[in-house]
Amino acid sequence: MLLEVMSEAEKNSLIGPESRLMMEGVLRISEMRALDIMVAGPRIDMIDIEMERDELFHQVIDIGHSRYPVFEENRENIIGVLHSKDLLKLQRAPDFHIKGLLRNALYVPESKSLVDLLREFKKSRNHLALVVDEFGKIAGLVTLEDVLEEIVGEIEDEFDTETSSTDIYTLADKSYRIAGNCSIEELNKAFETNLLQDMEEEFDTIGGLIAHEIGHVPQKGESITIAGLRFEVMHAKGGSVKWFRLRL
């Protein structure tokens, strides 16, 4: 009923299309739980407390998240959350241990409604929550951004913003970060390859080609080798891959 009223209001120019979509999003999250939007446990980017300093910096820079759960001994034993910006403190105190930078982790059950989760984020001033199942195991992870995107649509972040005229970036470990919408023409030119040479189908972007070869929308951690180039999904969002890692 409410959806029909909002649709009619838009037709009569009482509200704009963006306002209608946002209100529909508010109604939608009232029926959703943390389980519905969480990143599954095996796909969570975590940091091992015993990780070497250089490896830690490389991981944080390459992946690009603002927050990471930190575990000790095994991934179920989360001892806190590391904010990427706090790593700047290590530049001033090289001998300072990462444990001193950790913040308390927020845990919520799978059944937590998104409306209640928003309140929890506001109350605790956290932007990240670990979702646990009925046995207390880590089932997944959900962020404040994930919830807000259900209301306002995809929010562009540092991964989505073009900061260069190219979609190809060299990483610290000599691999490359490739945008999912990078044109195959640009990729072929950069690495002197011909990815479509033996294919009947035509594709404009590397994301489209890889999705075709895998047979579904690639998920984080999946990898495939095409024409001697190994692509691994670094960051997937909104039903598409934002960034691949390329190893030659």
pLDDT tens digit string along 203-216?
889 998 999 899 88
Q: Is the pLDDT of residue 158 over 70?
A: no
With tokens 């997944």, the residue in question is 140
Judge whether 161 and 243 are in contact, CB under 8 Å.
Answer: no
Domain hosting residue 11, numbered range: 1-31
CA distance to 1, 27, 31, 238, 246, per residue, from 24 (Å): 12, 5, 12, 18, 39
Query: What is residue 146's predicted lDDT score, i.e. its pLDDT?
Result: 87
- Please check whether residue 160 lies inside any domain of the structure: no
Instruction: Point out the least confidently predicted range of 30-44, 145-159, 205-219.
Output: 145-159
Higher local confidence (pLDDT), 94 or 167: 167
Q: Which of 152, 184, 199 is the last residue of a domain?
A: 152
Q: Is the pLDDT of residue 104 over 60?
A: yes
Co-location of 54 and 137 in the same domain: yes
Q: What angle do CA 205, 209, 215 make, to 5 degrees?
A: 145
- Please check whether residue 66 lies inside any domain of the structure: yes
pLDDT tens digit string along 184-195?
989 998 898 888
Q: Provide, rounded to the nearest whole percent, the portion of the chain with pLDDT above 70.
A: 88
Three-state secondary structure of the chain: CHHHHHHHHHHCCCCCHHHHHHHHHHHHHCCCEHHHHCEEHHHCCCEECCCCHHHHHHHHHHHCCCEEEEEECEEEEEEEEEEHHHHHHHHHCCCCCHHHHCECCCEEECCCEHHHHHHHHHHHCCCEEEEECCCCCEEEEEEHHHHHHHHHCCCCCCCCCCCCCCCEEECCCCCEEEECCCEHHHHHHHHCCCCCCCCCCCCCEHHHHHHHHHCCCCCCCCEEEECCEEEEEEEEECCEEEEEEEEC
Query: What is residue 200's predicted lDDT score, i.e. its pLDDT?
Result: 63
Total domains present in the chain: 3
Co-location of 115 and 183 in the same domain: no
- Please check whether residue 114 lies inside any domain of the structure: yes
Picking from 43, 243, 19, the residue whose alpha carbon sits closest to that of residue 138 is 43
Instruction: Point out the least confidently predicted range of 28-37, 56-65, 155-164.
Output: 155-164
CA distance 88 to 81: 15
The stretch 26-40 carries a mean pLDDT of: 87
Co-location of 210 and 237 in the same domain: yes
Co-location of 38 and 144 in the same domain: yes
- Please check whether residue 120 lies inside any domain of the structure: yes
Q: Is the pLDDT of residue 39 over 80?
A: yes
- Please check whether residue 63 lies inside any domain of the structure: yes
Q: Which of 122, 152, 182 is the last residue of a domain?
A: 152
Q: What is the CATH number of the domain that holds 209?
A: 3.30.465.10
Higher local confidence (pLDDT), 118 or 97: 118
Co-location of 23 and 59 in the same domain: no
CA distance to 6, 132, 238, 240, per residue, from 42 (Å): 40, 13, 19, 19
Co-location of 118 and 172 in the same domain: no
Co-location of 53 and 131 in the same domain: yes
The stretch 52-69 carries a mean pLDDT of: 85
Co-location of 135 and 172 in the same domain: no
CA distance 154 to 132: 25
The stretch 60-66 carries a mean pLDDT of: 82
Query: What is residue 159's predicted lDDT score, i.e. its pLDDT?
Result: 47
- Please check whether residue 48 lies inside any domain of the structure: yes
Co-location of 91 and 180 in the same domain: no
Co-location of 215 and 109 in the same domain: no
- Please check whether residue 162 lies inside any domain of the structure: no
Q: Which of 100, 123, 152 is the last residue of a domain?
A: 152
CA distance 149 to 154: 5
Co-location of 9 and 49 in the same domain: no
- Please check whether residue 84 lies inside any domain of the structure: yes
Q: What is the CATH number of the domain that holds 144?
A: 3.10.580.10
Query: What is residue 22's predicted lDDT score, i.e. its pLDDT?
Result: 75
Co-location of 25 and 38 in the same domain: no
